[in-house]
Chains A and B, each alone.
Chain A
Amino acid sequence: MADPATNTPTPQVSRVVADASEVARVLARMAHEILEANHGAENLLVLGIPTRGVHLARRLAKLIGDIEGHPVRLGELDITMYRDDLRANPTRNPARTSIPGSIDDAVVVLVDDVLYSGRTIGAAFDALRDLGRPKAVRLAVLVDRGHRELPISADTVGRTIQAATDERVSVLVSELDAADAITITRTGRA
Chain B
Amino acid sequence: MRHLLSCADLDLASTNALLDLAEEMQQVQSRSVKKLPALRGRTVVNIFFEDSTRTRTSFEIAGKWLSADTINVSAKGSSVSKGESLRDTMMTLDAMGVDAFVIRHASSGAAAQVASWVKAQVINAGDGQHEHPTQALLDAFSMRQHFRRIGAEGFAGKKVAIVGDVLHSRVARSNVLLQQILGSDVVLVAPPTLVPTGVNEWDCEVTGDFDTVLPEADIVMMLRVQRERMAGGFFPTEREYTERYGLTPERLAKMKPGAAICHPGPMNRGVEISSAAADAANSLVLEQVAAGVAIRMSVLYHLLGSEEGAIR
Contacts and interface: CB of A to CB of B under 8 A. Distances in A.
B21 A94 contact: yes
Interface string B294-307: 00000001100111
A126 interface: yes
Contacts of A93: 17, 20-21, 312
Given A90-B312, A91-B301, A94-B24, A82 B37 contact: yes
Interface string B1-43: 0000000000000000100110010010001110111100000
A87 B32 contact: no
A89 interface: yes
A96 B38 CA distance: 15
Contact of B38 (A86, A90, A98, A132): A86
Size bracket of the A interface: 20 to 34
Contact of B305 (A87, A95, A98, A126): A87
Contacts of B37: 81-82, 126
A82 B37 CA distance: 6
Contacts of A96: 24
Contact of B301 (A81, A90, A95): A81
Nearest to A130: B33
A6 interface: no
A91 B36 contact: no
A51 to B, nearest CB: 15
A55 B78 CA distance: 54
Contacts of B309: 91
Interface in A75-108: 78, 80-82, 86-98
Nearest to A84: B37
A90 B308 contact: yes
A136 interface: no
A82 B36 CA distance: 7
A131 interface: yes
Contacts of A82: 36-38
Interface of B: 17, 20-21, 24, 27, 31-33, 35-38, 66, 301-302, 305-312
23 contacts: A81-B38, A81-B301, A81-B305, A86-B305, A87-B305, A87-B306, A89-B306, A89-B308, A90-B312, A91-B301, A91-B302, A91-B308, A91-B309, A91-B310, A91-B311, A93-B21, A94-B21, A94-B24, A96-B24, A97-B24, A130-B31, A130-B33, A132-B32
Interface of A: 78, 80-82, 86-98, 126, 130-132
Sort A-B residue pairs by CB-CB distance and give the 7 closest, nearest first: A81-B38, A91-B306, A81-B36, A130-B33, A91-B305, A90-B308, A87-B307
